[in-house]
Structure 1
Amino acid sequence: MAENQGFIGSIVETVKTVFWALVIAGIFRTLFFQPFWIPSGSMKDTLLIGDFLFVNKMAYGYSYASCPAIRIERIGIDLGPDDFCGWFEDRDGRLFGSEPERGDIVVFRHPVTGRDFIKRLIGLPGDRIQMKDGLLHINDTPVEIEDAGIFAEVMAPQGPLGLRPQCANGAVGEGATCEKEKAIETLPNGVSHSILNIGRRSADNTGVFTVPADQFFFVGDNRDNSTDSRFPQAAGGVGFVDRKDLVGRADRVMFSSAGRSMLAFWTWRSDRYFKALE
């Protein structure tokens, strides 16, 4: 009898330990940092498929989007921040934090699907944004561009989704070198970062986007392979993003793996560990 009570007590203590560990992890993730894996190549070469980072939720303060999401597609679990903090979704403003700055790399909730996206903040409220022949214009002034040579990678499946890169040097075979034109773009506030170009695309020339109050305009660094604010939500794009949908700022890559699983240690990119983002 005493042995059974001891066994049951051990189980209860284990359950309590796991419960409080989950509570602490949930609070940490809600208030401070959210882990994020890079699933696609829309931010190359700043962010590569398989990069792992923590998103700083304190940077812009808190909204309903700060609440955690639990998505396990294999067993049909799909809970977003609105499921946990939907009561907070329609409130104006954010608690604490500071204003986003042009050039920040930001994780935000897609205005329609609710999925987390990561892009670079290009347009602030009131800005006029336009692309002309692939060159970004902000408030009717072209940004500074400096040629930076070629970004080269191997044509092969990348990451858990097995995505293959798009190439400026045509349709190359498996294992061949896939190239993209690389340039350094400098924004009006002095933030410089690399961008990639594959070739002529429809989004190389756009109309003028005037960013509404309390909304933002995001673009991927891999300009010809990014679904972002240049594309309207009705067409599957991102459109303008509300302030309340901002999750946080990405500042540093913590870990990186080029393989389909992080357990494949021979694919780890040690040169990207703790890499600061620009």
Structure 2
Amino acid sequence: MTSDGSTATQGEAEEDLSFGSKLKRELREWAMTLAFFVPAFMLFTGLFYEQRVIPSESMVPTLQVTDRVAVTKFAYGYDRYSLPFSLGRFIPLPAGRIFARMPKHGDVIVFEHPHTGRVMIKRLIGLPGDTVQMIGEQLYLNGEPVDSELVRKVRYTPHGTNILRTAFEWRETIGDKSWFTYRGNKGDWGDNTDLFVVPDGYVFMMGDNRDNSLDSRFPSGHCPAENGVVDRAGCPLRVPAEEASIGFVPLDHLIGRADTVLMSFYSCKLQDDEKCAKRVWKGL
């Protein structure tokens, strides 16, 4: 009630509050909102899905720079590397993975680089016990050439450059899963490798842009080859960590499976009137 006996409206009551009181109330309401939102966000991104932005050209043409991809966190189970913002590197959690599931050939996987801790995205080619080798640009899995079909020749401008490049687009198939890769001319780096025997507890990863991906094909992140065979992991690096390939990737470093391109701000730069693939809500 006011002094003359009338009832004050809500607006009048608001006006009676000082600036400091209004500020305190707003801060209190924001604090309550954040107290709910932050734990809910951490729980969602830690257990279910998170978004990652593609930073490099290593997965072209499947993924372009600036693509936003949805990562399924529960695809392979959970361990300390599943925590958002790479918190698992700083929190002393026990080793091991709960609700563990094995990935499949051809999965596009987000994981932590074994030597640097950087978050990477590549395609899984080899599972524990598999043999993997590149011979004359052809990928061999367990002694057999992976089914490959030449689709087209494309000219494109890589992100952040004005250099026109030529690539051959191939469709590769393992089992019931197919994907596209870019290859340059034969004889480029990574076209011929040692024979890799994937150790227990590890996987073998490759980028779809074969001439622009420092992946498991390259010796700098591996133990030394013996008689042309690499079948061990965990040796001291022979180069600085930032220069090392990912080598064999431990299964407990897997963060999740990239399933969908949500959106992209990538500008198509294919030449010769070639069409660009749809990049909004696109399954991988």
- Whether these two folds match at TM > 0.5 is yes
Matched, 1:250 2:236: no
Q: Indicate the residue corresponding to 1:224 in structure 2.
A: 211
Shift of 1:2: 6.0
* Amino acid in the other structure paired with 2:89: D
SS in 2 for 1:39: coil
Asked whether the 8 Å contact 1:80–1:114 carries over to 2, the reply is no
Shift of 1:19: 3.1
Which amino acid counterpart does residue 25 of structure 1 have in structure 2? Answer: F
| 1:197 match | 183
- Residues 256 and 270, structure 1, Cα contact 8 Å, conserved in 2: no
Aligned residue in 2 for 1:98 = 101
1:99-138 to structure 2, matched below 5 A, reads 99-138=102-141
Please state how far the C-alpha of 1:68 moved relative to its aligned partner: 1.2
State the secondary structure of the residue aligned to 2:211: helix
- The 1:9–1:205 alpha-carbon spacing in structure 2 relative to 1, beyond 3 Å, is same
Query: What displacement does 1:204 show?
Result: 0.8
One-letter amino acid of the counterpart of residue 194, structure 1: F
Alignment CA distance shift 1:59-1:23 (3 Å): same
Unpaired segments ≥5 residues, structure 2: 1-15, 222-236, 268-275
Q: Which residue matches 2:152?
A: 149
4+ residue segments displaced more than 4 Å: none
- Matched with 2:92 is 86
Q: CA RMSD in A?
A: 2.0
| Helix, strand or coil at the partner of 1:10 | helix
TM superposition shift of 1:5: 4.2
Pairwise CA distance, 1:27 = 1.2
Cα gap change, 1:143/1:20 in structure 2, threshold over 3 Å: closer, same or farther?
same
1:276 aligns with 2:283: yes
Partner letter of residue 195 of structure 1? T
Which residue type is aligned with residue 32 of structure 1? F
Larger CA deviation: 5-14 vs 100-109: 5-14
How far did 1:16 drift?
2.1
Contact 1:36 1:52 in 2 (8 A): yes
- 1:29 equivalent to 2:29? Answer no
1:183 aligns with 2:170: yes
Q: Unpaired segments of 5 or more residues in structure 1?
A: 70-78, 165-173, 260-268
Q: Quote the residue 2:8 is aligned against.
A: none
Instruction: Mark the CA change 1:12 to 1:110 in structure 2 (over 3 Å): closer, same or farther.
Output: same
In structure 1, what is the equivalent of residue 202 of structure 2?
215
Query: In structure 1, what residue type is equivalent to 2:31?
Result: V
- The percent identity for this pair of structures is 36
- The aligned residue for residue 263 of structure 1 is none
**How many residues in Structure 1 have an aligned counterpart in Structure 2?**
238
Give deviations 1:68-102, integer Å, cap 9, x for gaps.
Answer: 11xxxxxxxxx64311x3323xx13x211522001
Q: Distance in 1 between matches of 2:250 and 2:28?
A: 44
**For 2:84, what is the secondary structure of its paired residue?**
coil
TM norm structure 1: 0.80
TM-score, normalization by structure 2: 0.78
Q: For each residue in 1:179-234, what CA deviation from the matched residue of structure 2 results, as whole angstroms up to 9, or x when unmatched?
A: 201111112x2321111111222311111111011110000011111011112323
Q: 1:47, 1:107 → 2: CA distance?
A: 13
Rg larger in structure:
2
CA–CA distance in 2 between the matches of 1:140 and 1:40?
A: 31
- In structure 2, how many angstroms separate the alpha carbons of the residues matched to 1:5 and 1:40? 49
